[in-house]
Amino acid sequence: MEKKKGRPGGAAVVMGRYELGRLLGHGTFSKVYHARSLVSGEAVAVKVIDKEKALLAGAGMAGQIEREIAAMRLVGRHPNVVRLHEVMATRTKIYFVMDLVRGGELLARLVAVGGRLGEAPARRYFRQLVAAVDYCHSRGVYHRDLKPENLLVDDDDGGNLKAWFKVSDFGLSALRRPAGGGDGRLLHTTCGTPSYVAPEIIGNKGYDGATADVWSCGVILFLLLAGHLPFFHSNLMEMYNKITKSEFRFPDWFSLDARSLISRLLDPNPKTRITIDDIINHPWLNKGHHNPTPATSSNNFKSIEEEEEDKPANLMKPASLNAFEIISLSHGFDLSGLFCNDQIEKKQEVFVSGRTASAIVSRLEEIAEAEEFEVEKKRKKKKQSESEGMTVKMKGWREGRKGRLAVDAEILEVSPSCYVVEVKKTAGDTMEYQAFCSRGLRPSLKDVCWST
């Protein structure tokens, strides 16, 4: 249903599920409304995208919306990231139902308290920012437009800056590319907000999304402590020149540890710029902080795939037509491929082989040895008259983000000359499992099995 139904009080209802309230903000082809779920009564934000205006903005806009949805689905289970609850669509509109973040932009809060913070509140916010960015990168998502306008304060706490915030607006985000030769993983799209953009993006020679986000974090930290941007000039080219050379001055009140951290964050060489792991261990960030909280330990959060696996089946059923099936009814805006995105959906690999079971097991053992995995083989008697199967269990030695990666490969005999091999993750991080499949499993099995 495309039309919004009128309510007695004049409010509009979207798809019979959400009652729209006041307008919170708007962009070129979208508006964001305060809304209420008619099912749960929960307050949410609904972003309404005008499909016709989006198409007129250019052919790349469909891909941008796809990436925004994909990115938010990957990272939306972290407390410092705005969560995408669901996507609905009609022939003319796309609706994003998201967390309602009541306190507004962090930038507005800074202005309300005089423009800059002391080190203690700045440290509190920066810890949350680092935790969110670390989690996004672990899920293969690079934000590419980090700035205070995209950091939303979670609750209106009267301006005392003790609230949590959430990272929002993944419209310019990029997803990690598969491994490839040369600079295959580098990004080349010039995007972002000029004052916060990394020098390698300006150079237009390809850049790593993770190190570019780290630079933006450095600009944000400087702004929190100084009350002004490190790089600013009325002439855009002059400002870019300052960014490229990392020319800025520390105010007198910056501590030595703060200067040390910011200098490493705003290193113009992305190869020597500080990493997220080193930021987390830096003395300035850890001052007065002894017990990690959920906001500073992204390992405590399940991946979106694991969260969804834990949900009861009835909660996973869509209450309306699949958004992407509806959108695809209009030529030139088919987003249905999103649901086939290997990076998001694929949790199991299935192969077929005409080789013997022993040959398949032998190859799996070679893969395990190359990846430094422990191997355990188990024969599994099938029910009644079915033939035997075999399970090869592989477990990594290295500790990942969610413990050691464990993979089961079950070999099932369909006929004497045909076997099915089902490979699935049983423990560890989903993204690390997918990297294992891309890096080791599929290439090594290509002359023994074929994918299905």
Q: How far apart are CA 125 and CA 127, in angstroms?
A: 5
Q: Which of 50, 99, 134, 145 is catalytic?
A: 145
Inter-residue contact 261 to 237 (CB < 8 Å):
no
Binding-site residues for ATP, in ranges, read 47
* Cα–chain center distance at 398: 24
Instruction: Examine the residue annotation and report whether 183 is marked as an active-site residue of this protein.
Output: no
Which element (helix H / strand E) includes 450?
strand 450-451
Q: What is the DSSP letter of 89?
A: E
Residues marked as binding? 47
Q: What is the C-alpha to C-alpha distance for residues 406 and 216, in angstroms, rounded to an integer? A: 35
Enumerate the H helices of 3-118 as residue ranges. Answer: 51-56, 60-75, 106-112
Alpha helices in 76-118 (DSSP H): 106-112
DSSP E strand boundaries for 141-279: 141-142, 151-153, 165-167, 174-175
CB 49 within 8 A of CB 94: yes
**Distance, C-alpha 64 to centroid of its chain:** 14
* Burial (Cβ within 10 Å: 0-12, 13-18, ≥19) of residue 404: middle
Catalytic sites, residue numbers? 145
